[in-house]
Structure 1
Amino acid sequence: MSRGSVTVRVARWSATHPWRAIGLWLLLVVVAVGMSVVVPKQQTESRDTWVGQSGQAAGVIEKAGLGDVPTETVLLTDPDGPLDRVAASTAIAQLRQKLEGLDSVRTVGQAVFSENGKAALVPMELKGTADDAADNIEKIVATTAEVQRANPGLTITQAGSASVDAGIWKQVGTDLAKAEKLSLPITFALMLLAFGALIAAGIPVLLAFSAVGAALGFYAPLSYLFPDGGSVANVVLLIGMAVGVDYSLFYLKREREERRKGRTTLDAVEIAAATSGHSVVVSGLAVIVSMAGLYVAQDATFASMATATIVVVAVAVLGSLTVLPALLAKLGHRVDRPRVPLLWRLNRRIGPGGISSRVLAPVLRHPRAALSLSAVAVVALAVPALGMKTEPADLNTLPQSIPEVRTFKELQANFPAQGGLSYDVVAQGGDAVAGLTRLQQSAVQSGKFVAPDDAIRQADGTAVLTLVSVLPESSENGEGALNQLRNELAPAALGSVAWAVGGESAESVDYGNNQRDKLPYVIAFVLALTLVMMAVTFRSVAIALVTTVLNVASVAACFGVLALVFQHSWAEGLLDFTSAGFVVSWIPLFLFVILVGLSMDYHVFVLGRIREGVAEGLAPREAVRKGITESAGVVTSAAAVMVSVFAVFATLGMLEMKQMGVGLAVAVLIDATLVRIVMLPSIMVLLGRKAWWPNRLHRQAPVQAERELITV
């Protein structure tokens, strides 16, 4: 990179005006955090996730004004055995009195006792829409809890769409707080190991954390265009800490390296800007390009994730190019103070690339054998991905520690017609009611569905039939019941009447299938753009193709491990989860774009160091050795940070967050070791100068003869 490049000019200005750069950064962070306080973040609404036939049905139902009234159910059981009807009747009277006094409750229905005598339920209808119910649910749940305290001999709990969602959000908040508490000290400890000095270790963590805070603030107004689907805070913390620390690490390591060579602080900062700064920009653009692939899925939740991630990556890049040079220029050699004696001496004794050179030496001596063995290992890890099952999330993927989830399952067990998988069959036309009546009879006679009271409702030529599956709630049962309705029962009963099958269970199935169908388009978009980007950056077709192949290898290995871990029960005790037998449908698509972006992080950095060696006139083998060993410390530290942050998410309660954490941690570990230290150097050595075609470097004669590599 030219010493007159944009990254160098920005770094030079920041280094010569440090207080201005630091002040502007602090102002940016303060304004962003202020925005998060002043501007309320918008959440997705149910219509934002409508897709396929169920989306069409939901639109027709909403237009006709036949949408379900929001409901909640209070469940009463006796922990010591069959339900005491006298005690239950007393509690039910208290519930009715208190619930009817709430402004958000429309009506409280009559209590229903289960046929097995073990439970009773009290249904209620809420005022307004489902979104209104979500806003008012806390008071209703608090009222139920108040009656529970007054009747300690009974177990009185509540479940419904609004209360289950509230329980999930509470769990997400708890998980996020846990992730914050663990990720910061772990990241700082790893930086301390990498630098052996407190200030140098603290700078990357501080900048990453400030980037996360700023990104969440900037996302608040953007949420009016891309409303939060529920995972934005988790994703911003996950990705922001990883890339924020990495970008600062790349820059800081190179600046320290140049100072050790005797350069002044300003010269060291400029060289770091020309090399690592350029790699940071390319890496950031790679992550942004990859995340943009989520827009191809045309999904509101993915769009919010993509937007928030793009913002946090952009802020992290900006911080590493501006405030970081200012801090380094102001601190000078004091950035290596105060030193931790033992860690400082250990780092000096190992030296840059001390460990990696021992691993790399046999790889460079026998590149064909190394490439063959590593390829076999990656293929072996990837093979289970061929049998990976993806299904939408359901009750079985939610933590059983959420009280509302446990209540919902007990409700299904005691009252099959009140809970479980529900479907709305909407029909339009003169024979709609008659057709739905026939459908109700045939569905109930099949023994696989039940119909609640007043199952058919109609208005303005549109009629809706609600059916509930008697099977336990699961993704497999949900899709099976939906297929039976759509492919067999509905066509036979409704004939030429226009119809569609929707409802919550159908929406979940259609949503998962839509994500599965969009995956090939997302993959094609991301791979094509990153291939073009790498070809332009390094002016080499071969480098672009190698990058694409290695990215696919890392992702395939990641998917294989996901299938091994989460479709079987052997890791349940280790990771504290109950296997649902599948991977949640949105995880593979999300992981793909994230992994391609993050793997480019240090891939660009390593290739940049190799290219420096080739440009200096080194023979290809020597350039690979020099590039890998000189970047190994940074790559190892960066990968350790990513793996540790992602591993924290593997300890959280939500199965989706656990799958995401395991997938990312495993993929980065494989990518930073097997792929980048074995496969990449093997391929680069075998290609020689052809790797840089059509860049002029592939024609440049080496000025230094290739020397024998000695195992240290």
Structure 2
Amino acid sequence: MSTTTTGRHPLSTPDVDPEIGYRPGPLGRLGLLVTRHARTTTIVWLLVIAGLGAFAPRVEHALSGAGWQADGSESVAVRELAQEHFGGNASSAIQVVVKSTDGPVTEGSGKQVLAEVTRTLEADPRIADVVAPQPGATLSEDGSTAVVLAGAGADPNEMVRVADDLKGPLQDLSTSGVQVNPTGASLLWSDFNAANLDAMMTSEMFSWPVTLAILVLAFGALVAAGLPLVLTLAGLVASAGSLVLINQLVPVSIWAMNFAMMFSLALGIDYALFMVVRYRAARMGDHSTRRTSIAETMDTAGKAVLLSGATVLVSLSAVMLVPSPSFRSMAGGIMLSVVFVLAATLTLLPLVLFKLDHRINRLALRWVHSGEHRSPRFAAWGERLWKRPVAFGLGSLVVLVALAAPILGLKTAMPSIKVLPEDASARVGYDLVQESFGEGAPGTLQVVVGKADAQRAARVLSEDPGIAGAMPATPAADGSDHALIQAVPTVDPSDPALADTVDRLRADLPGSALVGGAAVENLDLKTQLDESTPLVIGVVLALGFLLLLVALQAPLIALLGTLASLLSTAAAFGVARLVFQDGWGSGFLGFEHQGFLDAWAPVFFFAMIFAIAMDYTVFLLASAKEHFEHSGDPKEAMVGALAHSGRVIFAAGAVMVAVFFTFALSGPLPPKEMGIILGIAVLLDAFLVRLVLLPVLLRLTGRAAWYVPRWLRRVLPDIRFSHG
């Protein structure tokens, strides 16, 4: 492949920028534009950060806590019908469990507490009907435990906020002999969101200083190391404020911000690291002028960053194919934060670099060679791989395949009550309901049926071996042609046997019957995820390959890069099976393993892991392509890529691993899954795939790696990474 230079002298070429001596590309021109209009760029960013940042502190309270449902499913239809026609007795209703140790709960102090609970619930306008404990249904046989049902008078997201507001006052009604614990799906999400927020804050306290320490070692200068953190923080503040505003139009899951915080911190540091290293090399190593250095940095590293960001956005956009509000808002939240981080990296960072210039090396360590861009150690590593590609390639392949092998036995299910701390109100109430009313009581099924079919439906429920008992049909309070039957299954809501019971009931019940309830909503969401996962994976792989093809103009290495990313992703999930399904290291990591991986992990984490993997792929192969465009030598492409980008990939990988693993140190199980799976994925991808396997593939394929047929060359846009 030829370089971008022509046979003419640069200064004689039209459109040559007189300040830098050659015609910069679009990103190079953008870099020069922001430096020439420094005041405007600064004002725009200050307005963005200040304007959106004003809303950022409200993000944890403004965003919604629910949305984990399969839109269009039977269970969602049941919840909507129950809320509309049965006084809010839906899956999002709040159940207040009152347990007395001083005799019957309906007498003495227990009776007083029940009355206070009822008054507290009725005082909230978002609560619909409040149903007192019913003998044989919500009053235990021994009379010690009662459940007060607070109907959902608002949508599920708002009911989580109701749970946030009421759980404290309700628990405060407890006395020495009477215990009050609200529970139910809304409380579960309220307690989980609170535990998750605490975990995120704790992890942030660990991750920022660890990240700064790694960056100081990577850059050798405190000022340069601080730039990625400042830029990432600017992007995160802007995205947090944006999510608050978007939430006014469309409900956004609180998880969108939690994931965005972690993911964008890691990516933003990657991008800034790549840019700062390239600028320092141009400015201090090649002794280019400030403007020339900015143009060169943007035309090379900036282009790689932009293509990497596009790959991340494309990978995450595939999650939008899952018809679940929580998944779509989480993917959208992360994508929004990536857009802001990209914008900051490609507009604000060049200006900061231009203004600080040599001052980015202030507070430098003594051993630092600030202009050194080509790493002798990674160049030597590249030479070693070039000489013995088969040995290193087979070694890395064996490790990856061995780690990926356990994925064949991977099981998934929706999170159980074990994701909550043992002292969480929802879990305490759950355990009391199970203890007093039966194993399956926390997962009571709701069957909405036409009045004419109510008796037949009741008969089917009574005869089903998976049902422990069913309450009499309740006609709709508004006189509509609906009846509600509540049935208690024989097994815990997280037991796989419940899915068989639901499938059997849906086949045997009358045609007008719909089966729902909180546990069934989880089952329907899992079914939807199982159906969507192959589609999402296929779309991510196809789009990832197409983006690499466009970026690299080389079909073979684009395909190999995509397959290598898939291999590291499979290895990460193989490790996840051993840790979270089989419980390896659960004691050390401080969690109670469920015997399965949460069902949302494969589809969502696959997109995130693949996005990160392709991020490193673009960095390495963009550098390789730049060297090949200059030299036409496959060896120089491979060795030069490692020499110039290996240290950046190593440092960026170390930062990402540190960030992700700190999120696995505290809090409930799902953040641990996220931190460990993503941390393992980055560890394998950055250090084994990008620094061993992919360079070996470049060595073995030689010139064929960069071959592009003429017909394809005519179709693809002309994208090059060399400059000058």
TM beyond 0.5 = yes
1:591 is matched with which residue? 605
Residue number in structure 1 paired with 2:193:
169
Q: Which amino acid aligns with 1:174?
A: D
Structure 1 residues 51 and 463: CA distance shift in structure 2, 3 A? same
1:213 aligned to which of 226, 233, 237: 237
**What's the Cα RMSD here?**
3.0
Deviation at 1:84, TM superposition (A): 2.7
Q: What do the CA deviations read for 1:155-179 (whole angstroms, capped 9, x no partner)?
A: 4433233333321221122122223
Amino acid paired to 2:418: N
Q: 1:369 aligns with which of 385, 391, 395?
A: 391
Deviations along 1:348-377, one digit per CA (max 9) or x if unpaired, are 799853443454433211212322222121
For 1:630, what is the secondary structure of its paired residue? helix
Q: Is 1:379 equivalent to 2:393 in the alignment?
A: no
* 1:604 counterpart (593, 618, 621): 618
Residues 1:625 and 1:545: Cα distance change in structure 2 (over 3 Å): same
Please list, as runs of the form range in 1=range in 2, the aligned pairs for 1:540-689 lying within 5 A after superposition.
540-617=554-631, 619-689=633-703
Q: CA deviation at 1:146?
A: 2.8
Match of 1:332 among 332, 335, 357: 357
Deviates more, 1:279-288 or 1:601-610: 601-610
Check whether the contact 1:422–1:466 (CA below 8 A) recurs between aligned residues: yes
Which residue of structure 2 lines up, in the alignment, with residue 535 of structure 1? 549
> Any stretches of 5+ residues in structure 1 without a counterpart?
700-712
Provide the C-alpha distance between the structure 1 equivalents of 2:46 and 2:525, rounded to a whole number of angstroms: 42
In structure 2, the CA distance between the partners of 1:166 and 1:654, relative to structure 1 (3 Å rule), is same
Q: For 2:358 and 2:368, how far apart are their aligned partners in 1?
A: 19
Determine the structure 2 residue equivalent to 1:392.
Answer: 414
CA deviations over 1:456-514 (Å, ceiling 9, x no partner): 76853333321111322314243233234234xx35xx4xx433322222111010110
Cα distance, 1:118–1:687 mapped onto 2, change above 3 Å: farther
Write the distance in 2 (CA, Å) between the matches of 1:185 and 1:479: 46
Q: Is 1:237 paired with 2:251?
A: no
Q: Is the 8 A contact 1:226 1:300 kept in 2?
A: no
The answer (yes or no) to whether the contact 2:79–2:516 under 8 Å persists in 1 is yes
2:132 to 93, 102, 109: 109
Describe the shift of the 1:351–1:383 C-alpha distance in structure 2 as closer, same or farther (beyond 3 A). same
TM-score, with structure 1 as normaliser: 0.88
CA offsets per residue over residues 93-134 of structure 1, 9 Å max, x none?
331342343312654624869768594224243472354644
Tell me how far apart the structure 2 counterparts of residues 246 and 380 of structure 1 sit (CA, whole Å). Answer: 29
1:463 to 483, 492, 505: 483
Displacement after TM superposition at 1:153 (Å):
4.8
User: 1:478 — aligned with what?
Assistant: 498
Mark the CA change 1:447 to 1:660 in structure 2 (over 3 Å): closer, same or farther: closer
Report the Cα distance in structure 2 between the residues aligned to 1:154 and 1:95, rounded to whole angstroms: 8
**How does 1:399-438 map onto structure 2 within 5 Å?**
399-416=421-438, 419-428=441-450, 430=452, 432-438=453-459
2:172 is paired with a residue of what secondary structure? Answer: helix
User: 2:7 maps to which residue?
Assistant: none
Q: 1:101 to 1:223 in 2, by over 3 A?
A: closer
Distance 1:184 1:153, change over 3 A: same
TM-score with structure 2 length normalisation? 0.87
Give the structure 2 partner of residue 305 of structure 1: 330
Identity of aligned residues (%): 26
Match of 1:704 in 2: none
Q: Are 2:30 and 1:10 aligned? A: yes
Conservation of the 8 A alpha-carbon contact between 1:3 and 1:274: no
Q: CA deviation at 1:62?
A: 5.6
- Answer yes or no: is the 8 Å Cα contact 1:99–1:143 preserved in 2: no
Tell me how far apart the structure 2 counterparts of residues 277 and 351 of structure 1 sit (CA, whole Å): 16
Change (3 A) 1:145 1:504: closer
Residue among 172, 176, 186 paired with 1:152: 176
CA 1:379–1:28 in 2, change beyond 3 Å: closer, same or farther? Answer: same
Cα distance in 1 between the residues matched to 2:347 and 2:152: 52
1:664–1:226 distance in 2 versus 1, CA, 3 Å: farther
Query: Hey, what does 2:13 align to over in structure 1?
Result: none
CA distance in 1 between counterparts of 2:343 and 2:293 reads: 19
The answer on whether the counterparts of 1:421 and 1:478 sit within 8 Å (CA) in structure 2 is no
Aligned-pair distance for 1:421?
Answer: 1.6
Cα deviation per residue 1:645-672 (whole Å; 9 max; x = unaligned)? 1112212322111111111110111001
C-alpha distance in 2, partners of 1:608/1:257? 17
C-alpha deviation, 1:16, in angstroms: 3.4
Q: Give the counterpart letter for 1:235 in structure 2.
A: F
Task: Indicate the residue corresponding to 2:112 in structure 1.
Answer: 94
Question: 2:546 aligned with 1:521, yes or no?
Answer: no
Q: 1:355 to 1:573 in 2, by over 3 A?
A: farther
8 A Cα contact 1:183 1:644, kept in partner: yes
1:686 positional shift? 0.9
Long gaps (5+) in structure 2: 5-21, 714-724
Counterpart pick for 2:167 among 137, 141, 157: 141
Q: Output one character per residue of 1:161-206: Cα deviation in whole Å (capped at 9) or x when no partner.
A: 3333321221122122223222222221111111121110111101
Residue 247 (structure 1) aligns with: 271
Q: Equivalent residue of 1:231, what SS? A: helix
Q: Does 1:68 align with 2:92?
A: no
On the 8 A contact 1:440/1:465 being kept in 2, the answer is no
Match of 1:439 among 455, 460, 465: 460
Mark the CA change 1:298 to 1:223 in structure 2 (over 3 Å): closer, same or farther.
same
Matches within 5 A, 1:192-231: 192-224=216-248, 226-231=250-255
Look up the match of 1:710. Answer: none
Cα 1:591–1:139, aligned 2, differ >3 Å: closer, same or farther? closer
- Structure 1 segments of 4 or more deviating over 6 A? 37-40, 111-116, 346-351
- Alignment map for 1:483-494 (pairs within 5 Å): 483-487=503-507, 490-491=508-509, 494=510
Is the 2:443–2:489 contact (alpha carbons within 8 Å) kept by the matching residues of 1?
A: yes
Q: 1:499 to 1:365 in 2, by over 3 A?
A: same
**Most deviating of 683-692 and 432-441:** 432-441
Residue type at the aligned position of 1:257: A
Q: Is the 8 A contact 1:16 1:329 kept in 2?
A: no
Change (3 A) 1:577 1:128: same
Whether the aligned pair in 1 keeps the contact of 2:664 and 2:671 (CA below 8 Å) is: yes
State the secondary structure of the residue aligned to 1:121: strand
Letter in 2 for 1:161: A
Distance (whole Å) between structure 2 residues aligned to residue 20 and residue 462 of structure 1: 63
What is the DSSP-based 3-state SS (H/G/I as helix, E as strand, rest coil) of the residue aligned with 1:464?
strand
Aligned residues: 680
Cα separation, 2, equivalents of 1:126 and 1:351: 64
Query: Which of the numbers 82, 103, 116 marks the counterpart of 1:85?
Result: 103
Residues 77 and 118, structure 1, Cα contact 8 Å, conserved in 2:
no
Contact 1:96 1:108 in 2 (8 A): no
Q: 1:584 to 1:408 in 2, by over 3 A?
A: same
CA-to-aligned-CA distance 1:378-409 (integer Å, 9 cap, x gap): 11111101111011112133333423212212
Aligned partners of 2:241 and 2:469: how far apart in 1? 48
Q: CA deviation at 1:447?
A: 6.7
Aligned partner letter, 2:108: T
Q: Secondary structure at the match of 2:267?
A: helix
**CA pair 643-594 structure 1, distance change in 2 beyond 3 A:** same
Task: Please name the residue that 1:34 is paired with.
Answer: 54
Query: Is the alpha carbon distance of 1:116 and 1:502 closer, same or farther for their aligned partners in structure 2, counting shifts above 3 Å?
Result: closer
